[in-house]
Structure 1
Amino acid sequence: MVIKSPQDFGAGILFILFGAIGLFVGSDLTFGSARNMGPGYFPMIICGLIALIGVIVTVKSLAIEGPAIERIQFRPIIFILLAIAAFGLLIAQIGAVISSILLIMFAAYARRGVNLVETVIFAVTTAALVVIIFVYGLGQPMPVWWGR
């Protein structure tokens, strides 16, 4: 057995593991049927599909050439996690608009060579969509602006 795509092989194994863990954890829930779904029906179907995707990706890694596993890049991981944590901590105090803009601005620095104008346009557009969709469209109880 020759692994032609180490990246796909690793991803496939992770998918299989996550699917198997989900199936194991959800095994205590009542499955039910398509007509009368139990609390475990949807989670078990999703976990089974995740494991199936893992099997497909793993088999594909044995047949098709692909890239090697790259070295872990910590900069993107750190910036994205910190941006999400800051958003969660700040949204109640400074509102959806400002915290969304800060989230995008901070997360943009997960990659090198950030275009500031492009990032500001994306951040403002995303903040507007957050307010339109979540506050007005779905009626989520979150402040829109600082102090409101």
Structure 2
Amino acid sequence: MKINAKDLAAGLVLLAFAVAGLWLNLDHTLGNARRMGPGYMPMLAFGILFFISAAIVIMAMFSGPDKLERWAWRELFLILGSICVFGLILEKAGMILTLAITIGISTLADRTHRPLGVLALTAFLVVLCWLVFIYWLDIRIPVWPTYFGY
């Protein structure tokens, strides 16, 4: 059996997240697809993650030798940090500024990004998120920073 250690480690980490998420979601009401309860979407997302990560673990057992390399700590902390910043500043900074800051922090994880590409990515994602969350789903989150009075 030729084990791919990288895929196996990634699959096991994702599998652990899925199991923990499903377990923590047991207290929430699920509802159904027409009348979703607060636990419906997390259950669906963690369920999908569970099956995808299980498939990754199974495929890692047969996809050839590929040993683990050193961890990319800088990249890991930048990505996780950008997620934390998103959660901490969304209410006060608004969706647009928060997305720009989050994308800016997370693009520092890859040194090959160019400023024009980051700017284009930011513009695209801001428009896409506004269309999806504000316009189509009508989610009530501030779009602009609250200190501008909007």
- TM-score, with structure 1 as normaliser: 0.69
Q: Secondary structure at the match of 1:102?
A: helix
Q: What is the CA–CA distance in structure 2 between the aligned matches of 1:52 and 1:122, rounded to whole Å?
A: 27
State the shift of 1:79 in Å: 0.9
Q: Match of 1:117?
A: 116
State the shift of 1:89 in Å: 1.9
Q: What is the CA–CA distance in structure 1 between the aligned matches of 2:102 and 2:52, rounded to whole Å?
A: 34
Alignment map for 1:1-148 (pairs within 5 Å): 2-14=1-13, 17=16, 43=43, 47=47, 50=50, 54=54, 56-146=55-145, 147=148, 148=150
1:37-75 per-position Cα deviation (integer Å, ceiling 9, x unaligned): xxx99949x659826852x54443343314221211111
Contact 2:2/2:65, CA 8 A, preserved across alignment: no
Quickly say closer, same or farther: Cα 1:74–1:140, change in 2 above 3 A. same
Moved more, 80-89 or 60-69: 60-69
Quickly say closer, same or farther: Cα 1:145–1:71, change in 2 above 3 A. same
Contact 1:75/1:111, CA 8 A, preserved across alignment: no
Contact 2:3/2:63, CA 8 A, preserved across alignment: yes
State the shift of 1:140 in Å: 1.1
State the shift of 1:113 in Å: 2.8
Q: Match of 1:32?
A: none
What is the one-letter code of the residue matched to 1:50? F
What is the one-letter code of the residue matched to 1:78? F
What is the one-letter code of the residue matched to 2:94? G
Q: What is the CA–CA distance in structure 2 between the aligned matches of 1:81 and 1:17, rounded to whole Å?
A: 17
State the shift of 1:15 in Å: 5.3
Unaligned runs of 5+ in 2: 29-38
Q: What is the CA–CA distance in structure 2 between the aligned matches of 1:48 and 1:134, rounded to whole Å?
A: 22
Contact 1:18/1:51, CA 8 A, preserved across alignment: no
Q: Secondary structure at the match of 2:87?
A: helix
Q: Highest Rg: 1 or 2?
A: 1
Contact 1:4/1:62, CA 8 A, preserved across alignment: yes
Unaligned runs of 5+ in 1: 30-39
CA RMSD of aligned residues (A): 3.6
Quickly say closer, same or farther: Cα 1:74–1:139, change in 2 above 3 A. same
Instruction: Give me the identity figure in percent.
Output: 22
